[in-house]
Chains A and B, each alone.
Chain A
Amino acid sequence: MISVGIDSGSATTKAVLVIDGQMITRNIRPTGFDFLSAAKSVCEDVLSNAGIDKKDVTGIYATGYGRNSIKFADRAVSEITAHTMGVYYLYPAVNGIIDIGGQDSKIISVNDGRVTDFLMNDKCAAGTGKFLEYTAKALEVPIEELGNLALVSKEPASITSMCTVFAESEVISLRARGFKKEDIAAGLIESIARRVAVMVRQVGLKQNVAFVGGVAKNAGIKVFLEKELGISLYVPPEPQVTGALGAALYGIGKNSIV
């Protein structure tokens, strides 16, 4: 059985090819303006990577923000279910998932591969990738370097605002007051970690927690989040593709891998 999962996100589109329950290959592209054509391209990428003809594909399953606009998909599934299935495949002991995405953050409670509860941030960019993106810009640091920069800080600055817009001006005023770059970076990451930790406690995640989504690649953030939560987090080798992987698995009804 051959299935393709596509995660159509606001920033990047990912595809994963699964054959007989095994992840074979994956690809990532920037989404750009057109969700549908980005999805088409990644889908073709994974098929040609694996040398598979489109007509042999059992099903194509979409998730992510643009999931309902991927017209050629057989079915759409929410990111929450998709991430859960993807992470469960890689890490069957999982009891909780933290996904910090570009638009929103999700905290998912998992039992035996099934979602039992979840929480998403409301109508606001606090605690999302957007927060880091904007504030990194205000700090004049590429977002990928923010985490590592923060790790060298000895005295994190205190960023009190959860609001992206206010935090941005807070960063600028800290710069004006002569704070060190790494200390401001650490302050920012501490602030997002605190925000996410509140959500994690609301859902009641305690152990076997995975950290996924594009932001999870940022080593510094993982360290700060672990410190804030007092637990160690499992980060899959490619934390951005768990959604697409989960969608592919969902499609073939791979509910449990046991």
Chain B
Amino acid sequence: MENDLIYFITKHFVERMTHFKTLEYIKNSYSSRICQLTEEKKAGKKIVGTLCLFVPDEIIFAADADRVILCGGKNDTISIAEQYLPRNICPLVKSSFGSVVNNGRSGVKSCSHFGLVDIVVAENTCDSKKKMYELLGDYVPTYVLDLPQKPDSLAAVKYFLEELNKFKGVMEQLTGNKVTVEQLKKEIISSNETRKLLHRLYDLRKTDSPPISGVDVIKVMQKQYVLSAEDFKKALRSLIDEAEKIKADFKTDFTRKPRIMISGCPMPGGNTKVPEIIENRGGIIVVEESCTGTRSFWDLVDESKDPMTALAERYIKIPCSCMTPNDRRIDNILELAREFKVDGVVNYTLQFCHGYNIERYKVQQALRNAGIPVLSIETDYSDSDVEQIGLRVDAFMEMLS
């Protein structure tokens, strides 16, 4: 009887969460985006490939270029990358590199946007990426944006500002367009709009009965840097409209599922293994402290300041594990846990990502002190550990309920 009820509720809940029209649109948007990029390229527009949140969209757009993310979430291209890169580096780096190198070869599928970029704007973050970019340069023109890695000093902001100015110069040279203060201000306002929309979407998840599942939100977030900024914004607006309607329709809190935060490494498109396990086994993900989550939109860019300074100040604060100290991330995790009424945190790391794996200790410590249970999962893109992870997640859910 109880089981039947749970089944009914789960079924209902799942149905309720998947009939978003916008989600269908977002999930199927890839091929139209490829057409769009191909058209743009024909018309002379430059396409920039990025792999990290530290590269400001605003500068790319102000130069009238388009941008597409190159972070790989697919397992298929890893074996190709391993012909060049050592096995023991993170799957994200291998998958991304494999996709670029593989481009145009038959046999293994990689996404076609990897072949469309005119330049990769890379960044000096973790060692694996940094060294991979040196090899990538043989396949695509690659520019590396340098980052100071002790972000909490004035000198760091100043240095980063210089780096951003250099990057602006690179974009101007690439496109032949001058990046004006007006253009930058316009782009900052536009990107802030997206950030505010994402805040609204995430606010809906703070309710006792979130109208949208975590897996669905992650799939949306995975498209944030794939789609054009305008299309993503449009999609977000209609998704929020739909979600707000659903929220108004459903008043009862019948879920009582453990509310989970995922915190850790990025989850690029093609990889939702762990979030799916969590939600298939009775949890509801209410927030992601991740580059595929809050890190991309939490802080706005100050619209009242000189645009380049405002960009430098905002972007340098992204709490990535390549920074030291990175206590900002710990503070943010605790703040999110409170705001989203989180019951437990899944600390998600990719195998061989030293930065986030080492930070696990501090994250666990801080959460334990705050009385919030943590489950740490270290994994890759393969399916070989689905059962093992499933067991941990089951036990974690039993522990939380």
> Does B378 sit within 8 A of A, measured CB to CB?
yes
- Closest Cβ neighbor of A74 among chain B residues: B3
Whether B385 and A81, one on each chain, are in contact in the complex, defined by CB atoms closer than 8 angstroms, is no
Whether A123 and B379, one on each chain, are in contact in the complex, defined by CB atoms closer than 8 angstroms, is yes
Fill in one digit per residue for B1-17: 1 if any A CB lies within 8 Å of its CB, else 0.
00100000000000000
Q: Determine the chain A residues whose CB is within 8 A of the CB of B392 once the complex forms.
A: 80, 118, 120
- Closest Cβ neighbor of A76 among chain B residues: B394
Complex Cα distance, B391 from A202, in Å, reads: 20
For the complex, would chain A's binding face be called helix, strand, loop or mixed by DSSP majority? mixed
Q: Determine the chain A residues whose CB is within 8 A of the CB of B398 once the complex forms.
A: 77-78, 80-81, 115
Whether A117 and B395, one on each chain, are in contact in the complex, defined by CB atoms closer than 8 angstroms, is no
- Closest Cβ neighbor of A115 among chain B residues: B399
Which B366-385 residues have C-beta < 8 A from chain A?
A: 373-374, 378-379, 384-385
- Closest Cβ neighbor of B376 among chain A residues: A119
> Does B351 sit within 8 A of A, measured CB to CB?
yes
Which A113-128 residues have C-beta < 8 A from chain B?
A: 114-118, 120, 122-123
Shortest CB distance B260–A (Å): 16
Whether B3 and A80, one on each chain, are in contact in the complex, defined by CB atoms closer than 8 angstroms, is no
Given the known interface contacts A120-B388, A123-B388, the answer about A81 and B378 at a Cβ–Cβ threshold of 8 Å is: no
Which A98-139 residues have C-beta < 8 A from chain B?
A: 104, 114-118, 120, 122-123
| Chain A contact patch, size range | 10 to 19
| Chain B contact patch, size range | 10 to 19
Whether A114 and B387, one on each chain, are in contact in the complex, defined by CB atoms closer than 8 angstroms, is no
> Does A75 sit within 8 A of B, measured CB to CB?
yes
Given the known interface contacts A81-B399, A115-B395, A122-B378, the answer about A75 and B388 at a Cβ–Cβ threshold of 8 Å is: no
Which B342-401 residues have C-beta < 8 A from chain A?
A: 351, 373-374, 378-379, 384-385, 387-388, 391-392, 394-395, 398-399
Which A residues are within 8 Å of any B CB, using their own CB? 65, 74-81, 104, 114-118, 120, 122-123
23 intermolecular pairs with C-beta atoms under 8 Å apart: A65-B387, A74-B3, A75-B3, A76-B394, A77-B394, A77-B398, A78-B391, A78-B394, A79-B395, A80-B399, A81-B399, A104-B388, A114-B399, A115-B395, A115-B398, A116-B399, A117-B374, A118-B392, A118-B395, A118-B399, A123-B378, A123-B379, A123-B385
Give 16 A-B pairs besides A80-B399, A118-B395, A123-B388 with Cβ atoms closer than 8 angstroms.
Answer: A65-B387, A75-B3, A76-B394, A78-B391, A78-B398, A80-B391, A80-B392, A80-B394, A81-B399, A115-B399, A116-B373, A116-B399, A120-B388, A120-B392, A123-B351, A123-B385
